[in-house]
Structure 1
Amino acid sequence: MPPVYVGCAGWSLPREHWPLFTADGTHLQRYASQLTAVEINSSFYRPHRPQTYARWAESVPATFRFSVKMPKLITHVQRLQDCESLLEEFLSQCTALGDSLGCLLVQLPPSLAYDEAVADAFFSALRQRYAGPVVLEPRHESWLNADAVLVEKRIGRVAADPSPIPGGDAPGGWPGIQYWRWHGSPRIYHSNYDRDRLENLAQHMHLATQARSVIWCIFDNTASGFAVSNAMTLRAMLADPDHRS
């Protein structure tokens, strides 16, 4: 079966969850003892040296994967245009993760509407430089019309919760990767997900694995400390045969 990656946005461990993780090592090493993936959001705000990415990769098991958020200089300042040199700089940094680089996340500003020519040129430039998994989190509803370009360029569309666009809560784009990004609902970044929501998500993820998709779920409801417990609960559900039907 295709791999399933479950984790959080960042590897901070709230103190109340420490007993669930190994007691030794760095925060990242302890986090990676139980969860299979992490999303690096800090790359959106500032660059990291290749040596930093390489050190992170050396700290985790061989099966662990990082998702790395594309810099806002590319997505929000340049708005996907005339950013080939910025792409090369970013990729020269994050590809130091080696095989531990599992995905690139492209999150767009709500004001950025879909323009087929711009999207095609940007993803073509990206694909000329990087062949690995990529997902897009658009926040303007016009991007729901972009599936033809996304499929051609092998770009998955994020299933976000909550989503600012109708239909944005379901995966789209290229079906080879399905990426759930749960921010906390109803209070974004804060709200806990109850067991019923997580069970429903586990069922959707199981169906996606049957469709031979690579599956990701990242919990971004970190502000009140719920992301770790939600990720651990989802991992347990996915490992339980009772949640595979």
Structure 2
Amino acid sequence: MAGSSNPGIRIGTAGWSLTKGIGERFPQGGSHLERYAALFNAVEINSSFHRPHRPDTYARWAASVPTGFRFAVKLPKAISHERRLANCDDLLARFAGEVAHLGDKRGPLLVQLPPSFAFHPILAAAFFDRAATMLGKAIVCEPRHPTWFAPDATALLVAHRVSRVAADPAPVPEAAQPGGWPGLRYTRLHGSPHMYRSPYDAAAIARYADAARGSTVESWTIYDNTTTGAALHNALDMLDRVTAT
């Protein structure tokens, strides 16, 4: 399969644009997604956060990748940032209908919350119940308010089988490590010290590769430092480390 020879290790980037100067690492011919999926076994669809995609677009993407490839899909900001997880069944239903066309190529649902969004147990429990019912599959959550890292919030995530993302930069120290439901490990690397821009050095990539190899559950590592094209370079470097014999 594309990517790591261990199907429990998934490495990719946020989006699949192949930047100039790195294209020689990928097969020639085909769409950017087809070429990307020849090497990687995972990608994060971030564009769904900003705008809806047609069902046939999701179906086309799914048909463009190998059997073992998976798409993580980011929850629309209309749900997470505008309605703030409340009274959103209509939006969840529309989104579920769209991403269903990824079929078995769909991976986790990513719920990224605004930095100002404090933990509210009743609201969180109701939303994760509805999301699980309407969307199924695994759910991962990237909270950024400190209240989401307290024991009561962690217990709620575990109870609802929601994995907490390990993020860099980490808004609080606890955010650097995965939490919540332990059945899935999901790491998002935004670039540090400059978010979305800074590349990771060899030592950092080695640490993330070791963490992925040492995981006893499926491990996703997504590079989101895409503005300068560093994400692809870093993901390829990690892939090389993970697949080295």
TM-score normalised by structure 2 residue count: 0.95
The letter for the 2-side match of 1:174 is: W
Task: Specify the alignment match of 1:148 in structure 2.
Answer: 155
What secondary structure, in the 3-state scheme, does the structure 1 residue paired with 2:21 have? helix
Task: Specify the alignment match of 1:221 in structure 2.
Answer: 225
- C-alpha displacement of 1:204: 1.3
Task: Specify the alignment match of 2:3 in structure 1.
Answer: none
- C-alpha displacement of 1:95: 1.5
Task: Specify the alignment match of 1:127 in structure 2.
Answer: 132
RMSD: 1.0
- C-alpha displacement of 1:129: 1.6
**Over residues 72-104 of structure 1, what are the superposed CA-to-partner deviations in whole Å (9 max), with x where a residue is unaligned?**
110001101111111111111011100110111
**Over residues 119-174 of structure 1, what are the superposed CA-to-partner deviations in whole Å (9 max), with x where a residue is unaligned?**
00100111122320110000101011211111111111000100212210110010
The letter for the 2-side match of 1:62 is: T
Which of residues 67, 83, 88 is equivalent to 2:88?
83
Assess if the C-alpha contact under 8 Å between 1:141 and 1:166 holds in 2: no
Matches within 5 A, 1:57-68: 57-68=62-73
> How many corresponding residue pairs?
238
- C-alpha displacement of 1:2: 5.8
2:182 counterpart of 1:175: yes
2:44 counterpart of 1:39: yes
Unaligned runs of 5+ in 2: 1-5
Assess if the C-alpha contact under 8 Å between 2:70 and 2:105 holds in 1: yes
Distance 1:76 1:207 in 2: 34
2:165 counterpart of 1:161: no
Distance 2:173 2:100 in 1: 34
My pick for the range that moved more, 223-232 or 122-131, is: 122-131
Residues 2 and 174 (structure 1 numbering): CA distance in 2 closer, same or farther, change over 3 Å?
farther
TM-score normalised by structure 1 residue count: 0.95
Unaligned runs of 5+ in 1: none
- C-alpha displacement of 1:179: 0.5
The letter for the 2-side match of 1:216 is: W
Distance 2:101 2:205 in 1: 33
Distance 1:191 1:130 in 2: 34
Distance 2:219 2:170 in 1: 19
What secondary structure, in the 3-state scheme, does the structure 2 residue paired with 1:113 have? coil
**Over residues 51-76 of structure 1, what are the superposed CA-to-partner deviations in whole Å (9 max), with x where a residue is unaligned?**
10000000011111111100011000
My pick for the range that moved more, 198-207 or 18-27, is: 198-207
Matches within 5 A, 1:194-213: 194-208=201-215, 211=216, 213=217
What secondary structure, in the 3-state scheme, does the structure 2 residue paired with 1:236 have? helix
Distance 1:107 1:233 in 2: 26
The letter for the 1-side match of 2:101 is: A
The letter for the 2-side match of 1:22 is: P
The letter for the 2-side match of 1:221 is: N
The letter for the 2-side match of 1:167 is: E
Task: Specify the alignment match of 2:31 in structure 1.
Answer: 26
